[in-house]
Structure 1
Amino acid sequence: MSFPYQITPKGAGLPPLPLVAVTTIVAYDLNDSIQELHGKTTRMNVLHWFRHAFGISSTDGIYGPGEPPFQRDPKVEAGFWAFDDSISDLLISPITRLTCPFGHKGRADAWAGFEKYFANGDHEQGSDLTKARYKTAADLGMNNLDIAKLEVTMIIGILTNTVPTIFWAVYYVYRDPSLLEKLRQEIAAVAIRGTDEKTGAPAWTLPTSALKEKCPLLTAVINETLRHRTCGISSRMVTEDCVLNNKYLLKKGTVCELPNNVLHSNEAYWGPTVNEFDPTRFLKDASSKEARMARGAFRPFGGGVSRCAGQYQAMSQMIGGLALLIMSNDCAPADGAEWKFPGAHGHTIAAAVDLPSSDLWLDVSSRKGYEDQTWKLDPKL
């Protein structure tokens, strides 16, 4: 069974069973992370909090329910993020233990954690994707350390774009009270009310299918976030001479680079409000000229045969995580400060979404008027 089958939906936007199993575990872990914020005020570094919450939920879904490396040893989780932050330096540094010690050690810690994971046979309890990747590599004669090295790079695709995307979505939503309220109304319309058996307080369930199918503004917020903050580049090889728009000759053998942010910031495709954060641009009539032009210019996951196969898992996690936080919690800048854009930069050669240039600290508390109420995702509804 090929890798793409494991993570690519088949027909009508519905995922095959292997992906459903992963998204189920991810949703339950996100519930636990949000529940930890219940009933108190937490001052959080937003990027770091989502690195941990998404890191645990994603690796549980892909590598659990045995002992996935991020759960087994905090050094593995910290090591991966050190590796991710240092990829560009590691690629160009001749003696990384001297010239890039932070990334060098982090990478080694991540490798060691995954080597132990495979040596213990925990991958046999992992997702079909993990088992298929391991079998293919092992059949080619690779040892556990080499397979571990490959798997650490796999996590780049799993985490390094979803985490900054949800970071930016939180920033854009909570700085705009009107947008926040519209999202809460939309999500509330699909929420199912129950009762907490211990407290008797309302306990709300958010069906993940309804969030994706009946909450268009929620999905539009993620899409608009990706439009603003995507920094990835698609590369294509020209296979034969061709002329574009009767102006540009592309010679066979040439490599074309397609920066996403150039397309995503072009007024010709997105109109005069191109620089504004306006998720409603994704809610226009799909048959309209504006919508058709925008579809062709929207490439956060790439396109063609190399389009990101994990986009459905990524969107499911980001939509669910944002919905949970929105319904459960209020967020405000720490110490009563004003909302301030934290700056942005494409942090490494592997990044497709900007990281913030400075930390964003928020005071996160239970949602006003809902302090005793709980919210959870149900991936089976």
Structure 2
Amino acid sequence: MPSILAIVCVALAVVYGTLYTVLHATQSKSEPRLIPTAIPFLDSAVGIARHKVDYLVSLKRRYGLPIHTLRMPFQRIYVINAPQLIQVVQNKSNLATFVPTLLDFGMLFSGLSRRSKDTLTKAYGSHGNGFTKSVHKHLASGSDLHAATRTAVEKLTVGIRYSFVDQEQVGLYETLRHQLCQALTGAIYGAENPYDDPAVEASWLEFVPGISHLLYSPFPWLTAHKALKARARVIKAFQNYFETGGHTQAFAMIPEMFNTNANHGLPSSEAAKLEMATSLAMLSSGAISAFWLMFHIASEPDALRACREELLNLVVKEADTQSGKVKVVDLSNIKTQCSTLTAMWHETLRYHSTVINIKKVQHDTTLASEYFLKKGAIVMIPGSIVHHNTNTWGPSASDFDHKRFFTPAGRRNLSNTTAYRPFGAGTTMCPGRHFSTSVVLSLVAMTLLQFDVQPVEGQWQMPTKTNADMWNAMPKPDQDVPVRISRRVDEESTHTEWKFVWGDASGKKE
């Protein structure tokens, strides 16, 4: 009589053999090369779950393929690494073939009902691009963008003035995160901003770690129980916001989106859920980017000195007072007159960004006349691989170089989305990138001019980021960096009152 162990071994062998046969029988020889697997359909799922973006990077280093196939349960993924293939996917002629999944992503974690999901899908189409049209319309450029940025700068000015004074020990990330949260949401949601309530902001922070469970866990109600309760509290706050007319006092984008969705049949209770996606777009990566930028500037003396010197070029007015001087700084010129700060911003995004552009293959197609891609498959373009490509960025691609974008080659790469894509590319490029960039740079500029930021431990130690969420475009540090914040004492800053503006009220400057 066979032993239980023998029976188990035979059963496992049969299962393995079946999975192996199914894997190769359903993989066309014309498809991109299938990455070798020890356990069919499971290796890739486990690898991504454990190592996230680093798993994709390790496969590129190991096999060096321009494109390859990963097979997961009920899903095939084509990972594109080569710039020339990325360009083909981005070509306008392929817009109907490679469709973004932004709308699907937003609906997955927002808690929308099935009926609301069907309503939105029908209203905005399978491309999902209509979902962000209002954002592009108001935040791409022009007077609306100017007004939103000016409001955010005003809120930062007040927030920093009362929060940054003589802090003996605070977390650098948490300090910057809170200021950006208040400035960004205040500028967009207006006077009745739900995030002005500390309980709502705290609930949002409790919700965010649960997003990965909502996206990947088979039992999110069990693995993300606390996050779901936190989400419910934020949604309730937004439902009250809409029902009491708070959105009528907000940035023009918010009432427009609300009215458009209402016309499609979305009730206010469901519109409140959709604000989870809007909040994520504002709050997910901006603060992380500000943290890494501030870390690199503060830990590099030459860069810190250069940034401060350039920021003095933004002073547009000076006046003597009884207690010293008042200096007015116009931050709307920061991108054109502060080359070191701007270059470090780009290098921070290049070096740290883990953005993954995801598209769905709408029909069977052949990519670049060579690689057969099946309908329903997912195309992934990992930004980390693009940003650390030595053929593009040279042998120092894996190093942080704050002068990288001073070179002609570096500046050329800024406009090439097959080389530099921290905000994505094409029709799915982050619509709020100009707004977020301006506010982050303003926050850092205000801090550098008014305060010294020093590590409590005496030396700057870059934190790890191995636990960063794969869905986030920027990797959150695994631990915060404790710092001391003190008002600057030097010839330029002593007895100086700094005032910050964003252009003039007419919106002429951008």
Take 2:225 and 2:308, find their aligned partners in 1: how far apart are those partners? Answer: 45
Q: Please, which of 174, 183, 194 is the counterpart of residue 69 of structure 1?
A: 194
Contact 2:469 2:475 in 1 (8 A): no
Superposition deviation, residue 346 in structure 1: 6.1
Residue 348 of structure 1: SS of its match in structure 2? coil
Residue 403 of structure 2: SS of its match in structure 1? helix
User: TM-score, structure 2 length as denominator?
Assistant: 0.68
Residue 192 of structure 2: SS of its match in structure 1? coil
User: TM-score, structure 1 length as denominator?
Assistant: 0.89
Take 1:135 and 1:346, find their aligned partners in 2: how far apart are those partners? Answer: 39
Q: 1:302 aligns to what?
A: 424
Q: Which moved more, 1:368-377 or 1:318-327?
A: 368-377
Take 1:314 and 1:351, find their aligned partners in 2: how far apart are those partners? Answer: 15
Superposition deviation, residue 111 in structure 1: 0.7
Q: 1:27 aligns to what?
A: 153
Q: 1:354 aligns to what?
A: 475
- The count of aligned residue pairs is 367
Q: Please, which of 485, 498, 505 is the counterpart of residue 364 of structure 1?
A: 485
Superposition deviation, residue 252 in structure 1: 5.3
Superposition deviation, residue 291 in structure 1: 4.2
Q: 2:338 aligns to what?
A: 215
Q: Which moved more, 1:365-374 or 1:221-230?
A: 365-374
Q: Please, which of 59, 64, 68 is the counterpart of residue 185 of structure 2?
A: 59
Q: Which moved more, 1:336-345 or 1:233-242?
A: 233-242
Q: 1:139 aligns to what?
A: 263
Q: 1:281 aligns to what?
A: 404
Alignment of 1:340 with 2:461, yes or no, is yes
Superposition deviation, residue 91 in structure 1: 3.3
Take 1:346 and 1:221, find their aligned partners in 2: how far apart are those partners? Answer: 24
Superposition deviation, residue 79 in structure 1: 1.0
Q: 1:224 aligns to what?
A: 347
Letter in 2 for 1:230: S
Q: 1:179 aligns to what?
A: 303
Distance 1:189 1:151, change over 3 A: same
Contact 1:83 1:103 in 2 (8 A): yes
Distance 1:347 1:106, change over 3 A: farther
Contact 1:231 1:354 in 2 (8 A): yes
Superposition deviation, residue 134 in structure 1: 0.6
Contact 2:467 2:478 in 1 (8 A): no
Distance 1:85 1:24, change over 3 A: same
Take 1:262 and 1:325, find their aligned partners in 2: how far apart are those partners? Answer: 32
Gaps of 5+ in 1: 10-14
Take 2:135 and 2:185, find their aligned partners in 1: how far apart are those partners? Answer: 18
Contact 1:39 1:371 in 2 (8 A): no
Q: 2:138 aligns to what?
A: 7
Contact 1:191 1:207 in 2 (8 A): yes
Take 2:164 and 2:288, find their aligned partners in 1: how far apart are those partners? Answer: 23
Superposition deviation, residue 357 in structure 1: 0.8
Contact 1:44 1:363 in 2 (8 A): yes
Contact 1:205 1:375 in 2 (8 A): yes
Residue 86 of structure 1: SS of its match in structure 2? helix
Distance 1:135 1:349, change over 3 A: farther
Residue 182 of structure 1: SS of its match in structure 2? helix
Residue 314 of structure 2: SS of its match in structure 1? coil
RMSD of aligned C-alpha atoms?
2.2
Q: 2:412 aligns to what?
A: 292
Take 2:480 and 2:320, find their aligned partners in 1: how far apart are those partners? Answer: 36
Contact 2:452 2:486 in 1 (8 A): yes
Q: If you compute each CA radius of gyration, which structure gives the higher value, 1 or 2?
A: 2
Q: Which moved more, 1:347-356 or 1:325-334?
A: 347-356
Residue 359 of structure 2: SS of its match in structure 1? strand
1:347-378 CA distance string (max 9 Å, x none): 33431100001121110111121243232321
Superposition deviation, residue 131 in structure 1: 0.8
Take 1:6 and 1:92, find their aligned partners in 2: how far apart are those partners? Answer: 32
Residue 56 of structure 1: SS of its match in structure 2? helix
